[in-house]
Amino acid sequence: MAPPFIAYYGALQCGPEGDALLQTAYEQVKLYRDVLFDEDVGLWRHIALGEGTDPTHWATGNAWAAAGSLRVLATIQQSPAADSMQSQQNDLIQWVGETLYGVWKFQVGFFFCHGVFAFSEIPTPPRSNQMVHS
């Protein structure tokens, strides 16, 4: 996942160029999410678009998505651009919360086979106002 590197490099640059890289890192996470996040289940898909798609929900992929998003968030929070990027930070917090909730709800009542979440019944995801943020 490139966004954590882009964000950190941007934080080191400072100024307008650094701010633009921090924004690019955020936009990359957003674009990944737009394509890979399965809102019906609350998990990220493995591969979407193009040939060889794999719509399964891989546990490791969801962990990387959450961890990478948190690294981008933490980098923005510690950068000089933190105040001007509050909306982006709120989005990242929301998206990580959705992913964690999506993974957590399958910790009971599902089976795990070869790193793929498998289930026979899909629980109803929470409304966004039910998410808890720190």
All structural domains of the chain with their residue ranges? 3-130
Most confident by average pLDDT, 68-72, 125-129, 130-134: 68-72
- State the distance between the two ends of the chain, measured CA to CA, in whole angstroms: 24
* pLDDT tens per residue across span 116-126: 555 545 445 55
- Among candidates 3, 18, 20, 12, which has minimal Cα distance to 92? 3
pLDDT band at residue 133 under the 50/70/90 scheme: very low
pLDDT tens per residue, range 15-71: 999 999 999 999 999 999 998 998 888 888 888 787 887 777 877 888 899 999 999
Q: How confident is the model over 83-113, as pLDDT tens digits? A: 999 999 999 999 999 998 888 877 655 555 5
Tokens representing residue 91 in the block: 């989005």
Burial (0-12, 13-18, 19+ Cβ within 10 Å), 133:
exposed
The whole-number pLDDT of residue 30 equals 96
Q: Nearest Cα to 117, choosing from 132, 134, 105?
A: 105
